[in-house]
Every structure is written in C-alpha cells, then in structure tokens.
Structure 1
C-alpha cells in the first residue's frame, strides 16, 4: 500500500473539489455572514500567504483568541496547511494563565477577536514572543487599540495570494495544533496534535456508531473553537462537506435556538450547562428545533434527567460522549448496541447516562489497586488510554512523567465498566469522597440530586471530617429561588432509596450559582477551600 500522508491539506482539498457550493454561516458582532466553501478556500489561502509575508515559517506557533466564526475557521486550516502550528487560546482563562501559555508556546503572532481586544491589551507588556496582532473584524478600519504592531484581518487578506500553494511535503507526524488544559490546579499543560492525529480523529467522528457526521448535516459547534478544537467538528465538517453554523460571540440560549431553527441545524454540540440552559429557554420560546437529529453532550457528565428531558419532552436524540484535551478529544460515545434497544426504557436510559463505548481506533484499560478491574459495573479504577489521537507527552512540561507511563496516558478519571463494555465515570480521582476508608462518587450523587423536580444544578464535594476523614457536602441551585431551606430534608430523603446511608450528604447548602471553570465545569476546589472547616468548626 502507498504510504499516503494523512494531513489537513487532504481535508481542505476535498472540500474544494467536491463541496464548493456548501455553505458556512457565521454569526459576528455585526450580523450574519454567509459564504460558500469555495469562498472559504480562497480566503484560507490568502491568509496563509499573508502570514508568510509577515514571516511565519513552518513550525512557528500562531495563536488565535477568538469566538466561533468564519475567521477562526479559516485560521484552522490556513495555519497548519502552511506548516505552522495553530494554537487556540481559551478566552476565559485567568490573565496569569494567558500570559503563561502564550509565552510558553512562544507564539509569534496572535489573531484576536475585535470584541476581545481589552483582555489582550491588559497583558501585552508581559508577552515576550508576540511580534504582531491581527484583529479579526469585518471592518476595513482598525478599532482603537494599544496593541502594537497591529494589522486588520481583512486588510492583510487583501494582500494575500488566493492561489497560494500549500506545502506538498507536509509530514503527517508534524504538529498541526496546540491546546492547553484549563488547569483547575497548577499551570495549564500544552498538548500537541499532529496532522495524522486530527485526520484519524475526524474519521472517527463520521462513523455511524459515534456521531455519524456527513455531508447532509448542518453542524453547529457550541463548544468553543478554543476548547479542544471544538471537539474536532470544524475539521471533520470541512472534510465531509457538512454545512457549518458558527454561533459567534457570547451566544445566549435564545440565540442558539434561533440559529437551530433558522439554519435547520441537524447536530449541535456543547457541555451540559449549555443544554440545561437551552432546555429552560426552549420551554419558554418553543423554537422550531425539529431539524435536530442529535445534540452531543460532553465536557462533564450529563445527568440522566437531562437526557430524558431532551428525548421525552423535546423529541431530540441525546448523544452522551467523553473525552479530554489529551485525547483530541473523542474517547467514548453512549450509543446502544442493537439488542440493547429491546431492553426496558429505564435500562436504556441507565446505559446511555454512562459515558459509553470506546470508539474504534483507541485502546483502553481501567486499572485499580489490584490491576485491571472486573467488567461488573462496580469495581473502580483509573482510565488508561492509548491510540492514534492520544497524546504521548505534555509540551515542554516536566509533568509528562506523571501522566504518561509505559505507552499509556493516565487520565486521572475514575470509572467502572459494565459487562457490555460501557464505561461510567465515577469521578475525577481528586474529587472522590473518601469516607471511613470507602469511596463515594460525587457524580452519582449530583446526577441523582439533579433528577429532583426542584433542583436546577447540584454539586457535591468531600469536606474534611474529624471522624470519617471526609464527608460529602451538597451544594444546590433551586429552580425556584423562592423555595426555602426547609426543602433540605426533602432532598436528602429523595436520595435515601438510591444510596447506602453512609453515601448520603451530611448537609445541603443552597447557592444562587455554583462557581465554574473557564470551560463550564464546577470549580470544586473553590468550594472545598471555602467550606473546608464546615464539619470541624475551625
């Protein structure tokens, strides 16, 4: 067989030869922008040419600091197809983390959204390698900014060659992308994605038993393009010729539902908090979302109650998935096997509330203190992974040895696996509640609490206890703020027939909102620190 290089250029070229008429719809701060894949291709080559004129060379890192829109999509291909490395930067990180990753990556240029200029202006004096800033705006006039030197995106595009020739000799093992973890502890860690890894990961998204992405789809990645490459959806969509709907800056649930209705979106992807908020908004505005064949949910575990709400109340299939920055990210998808569709509805929802089956192309084992765990759905262990799109190290980081050993990536996620091979996350290793020598899953408690009709969100953490080492403490946001703390006993009673007595949280604290990380995950560390003396009174 021919040793054919698996690079992003193949994805791009296919979109140009077969799907030139297909549409990309992009919401910007000034309105809705529409163009075809042919337009996208011409502008992408112009961007590559313009970056080369600015001095960008193969291997250089070029960063983006932007929302989901057509400018960002062009950068997704223009940068790696010229041999440089696309570094997508999380716009929600603390300033100190932004400074760290931009300097650590040694980015030469930064493409920054016009709406996000003030953030970069605050740290520009601390950036040691950036040689220029390119402002993503559809205006020919540059907005006022203290950044220097600064270029307008459309202006430099006009200087670029629409016939620019991408590198023929791209090595499939060469770096194409760079993402950093959101870092709930310590500094963010960089993960490099090769052309080959993204290519094979894109193939996996099109498999019928994963997301089944195809030319017929209208795809809306709500998950940010700065977060693990929007789960790879923009790359795969270009390759397969899917229509793309990019929701732009700070989209609200109403905006997202409007785009689904107007653009006949068939598949959309986001974290559980997005789908919880969209569910609430849909009940109020009743948008026409009948075009949806699936919503994809990942980033953190989705409660069974959320899955049931979408499928039973909105008649929208709900795909539960799992992955990490280090895995590009797709690892598992909760799709039933054919014969499992004959089981009871209750059993089906229990199965689909798990993280699902390992996708083809990866190897996995779940290892506990005594070795690989039994496939009994009970014995807990850490998920270990390896495969074509799993990282083998962190970028220039000594912490590599902690997570990558003997060819395996140690995920830090604790899970069980049932006899059918369905993986169910129990917790992050650091979030398990260790009480009286036994483990308690905060995720299981959270999911059960969120099934209560009065609960909007719930978070459970382990708090130091003088007798039991740790005890679970529940934090709850109620759907109706008028409900009183007297509902505490009702919530705890709600759990008693679902868990052993020693699993039940010792108390419930009602909050207006639960603190979240930059990618929408609960900030359990903050709650642990704030309430660490709750059971000791110190």
Structure 2
C-alpha cells in the first residue's frame, strides 16, 4: 500500500504572493513613471489594498469567475494592481500588446472575449478607433484619475479607474480555489497567421516565480531594486511582477518612457540594481550613455532575452559598464523562462575568453523545465555542443494547448517520457547542459546541404564599429540552393563598404559561411516584441541577385 504524505494542501495561488509581499515587505516602494509624466510612489502594502478594491470593483461591474479582463497598459502600479486584482479574484488577466497592428489588437480582444478593457491614457485614441469592433467588451476603463478623463469621447460609458477603486472598501478576502484555474492569457506575436493564446494557471505562474528567483536564474532578493524594462504586456514582463512580490523587493516601473535618457535617469535616481529587457532597448540606452560619457552607479545585473544578445553588447555592458549580463531564452508558450546563462564553479579556472563563450550561450534549463534536441525523425541528439537539432521542451510552466484549439501542438520523443512542445528553434546543447540557439527553424540557411547559422553571422557583423544593427537572410542561389545576404543599418555618421564588411568576417568564421553580399538599409523591421522580422526582409529582398 502506498504511503501518502501528511502535509497541508494549500493551493498555489497568485494572491498568496501579494499577501506575502504586503506582510513582510509592506513598506517597500513601488515607483512608477506615469503616462501623465510624473513620478508616483506607493508600497506593496498599498498595492495589496488597492488590488482587493480592484477585485471588488470588477465584481460590481458584473465580472464572474473565468471572465477575461483585457489591459492595454505600460509598466506601472495600476497595471500591477490589475494583475493581482483580476487573477486573485478568479478572473483572467489578459494583457494585450499595443504595439501590434490595430486589427490584431481587436482580433485578440475578441478571441479572448474580454468583458472589460482597461487602458492607459495614451491608448485612448486607439481604443476609440477599435471600439466598434470590440463587440464583446462591456466596460471601458481609463487608467487615470478624474482630472485626466477626456472632456468628450466616442466610448460608451467610459469609466474612471481611480473612481472605481476609491468607491470600494478593500474589505475583501481573496478566495481559495483550484490552483489549476486560469490566471492570465498572453498571445504570441502572430508572425504567421493569427496570434495564439497561451493560458497560464495559478500553479504554473507561482512555480515560474519561484524558478525565476533562483540563484542561477534571475537571482532576485529583497535587497534588489528591480526595473523591468520588458513590458508587462510582453509575456507578463517575464514573470517579474510575480517574482518581485515573492522576494518583496523595490520595483521601479518606467511606463512608456523607454528612451535612453529617461531610462538612465530613472536607473540612477532610484538606485536600480537589476533589470531585464530585449537587446534593442539596451542598444538605445548604451548609445545614449556612450554619446554622453555616462556610467552606472548601482546597476549590476541584467537579463537579456527576447532575441539573442549580440556578444559585442555583452562585452560592452560587462567590460565598459560593469554590468553582469545573464543571457536568457524562453517563449510565450513557456511563461516565458526556459534557460539562463550563468557559470558553474568549475568554469572559474577558464580564461576570460572561454568563460565568455559559455555566457554567450542561452544557458542551462531552470529546474522545472526539461529540454532535448531532436532530428527530423524526432530522435534525441547527443549533448556534445556540436550536434544541432530541433529544440523541444516540457515542464511545469509549458503549455499543452493553445486557447480555443482542440489539436495539441505536443509531440512524442522516442525513448523519452511524456509529450514535448516543439519550440521552432534549432539549437545545440553541450555536455554541461548549456543550450545555444543556432537559428529559428524557418531562418536557418541551407547552403549545399549544410546549415549556416544566421545568428552567428549577425553577431560578427554587429561587432564591426560601423554597424548599428544587422540581419542575415537566405537568398536563392542556382548552385547552392541558398546563400546568406547581410542586411545592415550603419551607425549615424559611420561609413563602411560592402568589401570592408565581408573582409571583416575573415578568420572569424569558415570561409564558405561568409555572406555573399551586403545590402545597406535605413532601418530593419521588428515585431511588436522587438524581434527582427525576417519574413518582411525575405519579402523585401526576394528578387535580390547575388553577385555570385
């Protein structure tokens, strides 16, 4: 007979994170640079009170357990209150990316069947434009006080967030329910077809918060001052709104003010120690600092993900500014954290170049996520650092279905337990478990039967002093099937020729992998989450004739 454990069964609920933060770090600050332009200060204790008021207000609007509440909002205390007020009261928090095309925003809100839509002041024109298409939204709520409500609007019955909150008592007890209940929905960027919804549970979100805070992950502690540059509408700001409550640290929210000058001033003023964001944001911040001869005084660690961090950027942050870069990889379907790159003690004996090569990889899996690389027949490949295959994952915070779909995306892997999620990435894994993305399966360049990694070529290109940003795509070739084309944005005032750039690859990569040609452009297309939009580049250069 199996002996069962005799332990309490306390459900893993998101509300427990906020309750903990309010009790043990109640006076710790939450600082927000608001859309209105001013700096707002509150605490974890006050956020907890107002989140309970949000729950009461949404119930008064008729919301029932399972109803979706949409948000179009930047990083700020009101958005944080909505995170907890919705999920904690058994509603579903649905963050919508306002950088998507308006038609996609409307499609996503309708697909999720949002009953309430809460939005920041600067998104009022967008919501007014889309309102006729949002037939399922019953209440529009402007995240502002009475003094910032518009004198007139086309929105029917526009509600004031501050008035809704102030009308409630906060005398509310978070309900207890099944930890597998849906807590939030995030949609993929929708680079092919319609975006797809990933529905997270309370259990998956709380476990993800624990995983994120581990020493070999984001390593957040109560001593940190955390500024999430990654937006709260981008995969729940990589779980930071939950992990920061778990450890009870100070949080600084930049709102829409993501330019280099605004970020640097906020970093310095609030003594930020830790941040997280995509490479394009750091590019803007570093450019501003370099132009003005500035240095950080407290900022020590950052997680960079969303797309591969160029080695040149990693070197600049660590060598010139003393900031430890934690390279990360994940997906919307993974809540999103999958791997982070930190060294083991055995690496201490290595020289600086060898250590950096390890840190340039996407890193080891967090406990809670397992991964494999498989060939086209789904057979596992060796972890030797050389074999590249299709990356598949499984774990506590990995989806098993998309919202509103019956067919599962999961696959079987011969000789491995359970079902696995195919990520669409091509990767290698070394003997120590460090994973390195070599490409997206649709972006890899197949030349004469051999694979060429576009990421490797891009990393070399952006190391050139005249290159601001670079992308590599495949161009059709009559003999080799495909050959690489390098598309480059030059730094302001910099000059470099095609021949000089191609010569720069010499000795840095195998000769047959060097791009066949270079195209100079004013800017590269990006997705709403900052990733290079190679589909558009391939369309733009589909008729490009290679000199070879």
Shorter-chain TM-score tier: over 0.9
Q: Judge conservation of contact 2:70–2:114 (CA < 8 Å) in 1.
A: yes
Partner of 2:383: helix, strand, or coil?
Answer: coil
In the other structure, the counterpart of 1:248 is 255
How far residue 282 of structure 1 moved from its aligned partner, in angstroms, is: 1.3
Q: Provide the TM-score with structure 1 as the length reference.
A: 0.96
In the other structure, the counterpart of 2:9 is 3
Name the CA distance, whole Å, in 1 between partners of 2:405 and 2:187: 11
How far residue 145 of structure 1 moved from its aligned partner, in angstroms, is: 2.3
In the other structure, the counterpart of 1:458 is 470
Partner of 1:496: helix, strand, or coil?
Answer: coil
Which of 468, 483, 495 is the equivalent residue of 2:505?
495
Name the CA distance, whole Å, in 2 between partners of 1:404 and 1:13: 39
Q: Judge conservation of contact 1:270–1:296 (CA < 8 Å) in 2.
A: yes
Name the CA distance, whole Å, in 2 between partners of 1:126 and 1:447: 43
In the other structure, the counterpart of 2:3 is none
Which of 148, 151, 158 is the equivalent residue of 1:150?
158
Matching of residue 284 in structure 1 with residue 296 in structure 2: no
Matching of residue 410 in structure 1 with residue 397 in structure 2: no
Counterparts in 2 of 1:135 and 1:364: CA distance versus 1, 3 Å: same
In the other structure, the counterpart of 1:377 is 385
Q: Judge conservation of contact 1:477–1:513 (CA < 8 Å) in 2.
A: yes
How far residue 418 of structure 1 moved from its aligned partner, in angstroms, is: 1.4
Which of 515, 520, 523 is the equivalent residue of 2:525?
515
Q: Judge conservation of contact 1:221–1:246 (CA < 8 Å) in 2.
A: yes
Name the CA distance, whole Å, in 2 between partners of 1:186 and 1:11: 36
Alignment of 1:35-50 (within 5 A): 35-50=42-57
In the other structure, the counterpart of 1:191 is 198
Q: Judge conservation of contact 2:196–2:403 (CA < 8 Å) in 1.
A: yes
How far residue 328 of structure 1 moved from its aligned partner, in angstroms, is: 0.6
Name the CA distance, whole Å, in 1 between partners of 2:161 and 2:91: 18
In the other structure, the counterpart of 1:83 is 90
Aligned residue-pair number = 533
CA offsets, 1:67-123, max 9 Å, x none?
A: 111110100100000000000000100112111111110010000111111111111
Q: Judge conservation of contact 2:400–2:409 (CA < 8 Å) in 1.
A: no
Name the CA distance, whole Å, in 1 between partners of 2:348 and 2:284: 29
Matching of residue 68 in structure 1 with residue 75 in structure 2: yes
Counterparts in 2 of 1:188 and 1:315: CA distance versus 1, 3 Å: same
Name the CA distance, whole Å, in 1 between partners of 2:79 and 2:211: 23
CA offsets, 1:231-262, max 9 Å, x none?
A: 00011111211100000124211111111100
Matching of residue 472 in structure 1 with residue 481 in structure 2: no
Which of 508, 520, 530 is the equivalent residue of 2:540?
530
Name the CA distance, whole Å, in 2 between partners of 1:260 and 1:139: 30
Which of 19, 23, 26 is the equivalent residue of 2:25?
19
Which of 417, 423, 446 is the equivalent residue of 1:434?
446
Matching of residue 323 in structure 1 with residue 330 in structure 2: yes
Counterparts in 2 of 1:151 and 1:475: CA distance versus 1, 3 Å: same
Name the CA distance, whole Å, in 2 between partners of 1:470 and 1:288: 44
Q: Judge conservation of contact 2:516–2:546 (CA < 8 Å) in 1.
A: no
How far residue 286 of structure 1 moved from its aligned partner, in angstroms, is: 4.3
Which of 93, 113, 129 is the equivalent residue of 1:122?
129
